Amino acid sequence: MSEPITAVLVRAAELTAKGLPYKAIDLLRPVLAVNPRHAQAWCELAAALLDVDQPDPALSAAKRALVLDGDHSWAQRLAALALSELGRHREAVVSARECVRRKPGDWRCLVVLADVLAAAPDGRREAVAVAREATRLAPEQARTFQVLGDAALRVGDWDTAEHAYRTSLRLDPENEDVRANLATAWRKRGGKPTASPAHESLTKAHALLWSALTRLAALLAAGDLLLLLAGMPKPTPALAYLAAGLVGACAVTVLTVLFRARRGTRRALLAVPLHRPKVALAGVAFTASTTILVVWTAGLFLGATTMQPLVLSWIFAVLGGAVVVLSGNHR
């Protein structure tokens, strides 16, 4: 029975993420009627209910999850958000603080605490400090900077708000809410937008390149390793076709970036490594890895039987992958 429930929960989470919370609610209610002691299902239902502006039933669902075995920090976060939506700010802050107490290193708990503090008139200053801590714990998460910008906006700290929103947009260039709030920060400050079209193109090019680098990391590290295992102790000519397939997949990944980029963004692609050292470092590693792989593949077709170049290609792929993984999303 656990597998069908798990599949339903995954589907419900996907529906909520796609902006279809009503469908998620319709999917979850029958599951909970049969399995009323499934804490994660109650949390998924509470999250979907919050998305459709139904904080009262969302709070009830979160409370059901709190008395069951499961991730109580998630239930506390949902309860805090529901209480805040209901105008019960003091209770919301208590619930959010309990979440932070349970998981002090979880940036999501800090984000919720900052969110509910910002909604309470006497908690806005603390909200900025809490949001700053969230950005320190998760500098790769756009949401942490968005909440910091929102909190700073409420206390009139326009410079902090602008910097936070800019960082959030760099991590998630598609977030239109953040873009609108950034414009508000500019307007409140009495200044003018400083983001030029060139800056916008650079941000979009950066996002495209980082997405490609993430895929290349998986392709090259895993592909080279599989080729190493398949070629032991001595590679055969048939292995050359597998290696050529890996080279082709890498080429498609790079060409996809050029295909998706618009004219202005294409020009900005060349400038990204100059402004983003981590992109340049990962790009050099993957270029070296792919070049060695191409040479080794050509050698196999010509009758070579050495595996040493493939080992070197894999090492470069792992180094580039380490830069991508340690840097986080769009950094």
Question: Which CATH number characterizes residue 86's domain?
Answer: 1.25.40.10
Amino acid at the residue 192? K
In a domain, 221, yes or no: yes
DSSP 68: S
Average pLDDT, the chain: 86
Same domain membership, residue 208 and residue 124 = no
Which residue stretches of the chain are H helix? 2-17, 21-34, 39-51, 55-66, 72-85, 89-102, 107-119, 124-137, 142-155, 158-171, 176-189, 197-231, 239-260, 263-269, 272-275, 277-301, 308-327
Say if residue 208 is in the same domain as residue 282: yes
Residue 138 phi, psi dihedral angles, 5° rounding: -135, 70
Q: Is residue 69 part of a domain?
A: yes
Q: Is residue 131 part of a domain?
A: yes
Residue 100 lies in a domain: yes
308 and 214, same domain (yes or no) = yes
Q: Are residues 113 and 33 in the same domain?
A: yes
Q: Which residue has the higher pLDDT, 60 or 263?
A: 60
Question: What is d(CA 28, CA 26) in angstroms, rounded to the nearest whole number?
Answer: 6
Q: Left if phi > 0, otherwise alpha if psi is -120 to 50, otherwise beta: which for 87?
A: left
Q: Are residues 134 and 56 in the same domain?
A: yes
User: Do residue 19 and residue 91 come from a single domain?
Assistant: yes
Q: Which residue would you say has higher pLDDT here, 210 or 284?
A: 284
pLDDT value for 262: 65
Asked if residue 177 belongs to a domain, the reply is: no
Q: How many domains does the chain have?
A: 2
Segments forming the whole domain that contains residue 6: 2-139
| Structural domain includes residue 56 | yes
pLDDT (mean) for 260-282: 75
Least confident of 68-77, 82-91, 147-156, 262-271: 262-271
Per-residue CA distances from 98 to 63, 311, 323 (Å): 14, 50, 35
Instruction: Answer yes or no: is 173 within a domain.
Output: no
Nearest to 194 by CA among 159, 232, 231, 236: 159
Tens-place pLDDT, residues 7-22: 888 888 888 888 898 9
Tokens of 237: 């000519």
